[in-house]
Amino acid sequence: MLGDKHEASVLFIGNATTLIICNGFTILTDPTSCTAAGARTWATGSPANG
């Protein structure tokens, strides 16, 4: 809603890990734990055809 206040914070932990806290939600990113260095990843699991 217009005029509502939102709280957010971002904490960088190490080289690629980030902790994001926004409006009661907490997200921890750690891209190095699931892929090899230089590997490409897609949210859908595979690249789009085309």
2-46 pLDDT, tens per residue?
567 778 899 988 777 888 998 888 988 876 666 666 777 666 655
* Whole-model pTM over 0.95: no
Residue 9 is predicted with a pLDDT of 92
Residue 15 is predicted with a pLDDT of 76
Specify burial of residue 23 (Cβ count, 10 A radius: 0-12, 13-18, 19+): exposed
Nearest CA-CA partner of 9 in 18, 43, 37: 18
Residue 50 is predicted with a pLDDT of 47
Residue 40 is predicted with a pLDDT of 73
How large is the greatest C-alpha to C-alpha distance in the chain, in angstroms? 44
Encoded tokens for 19: 């902790």
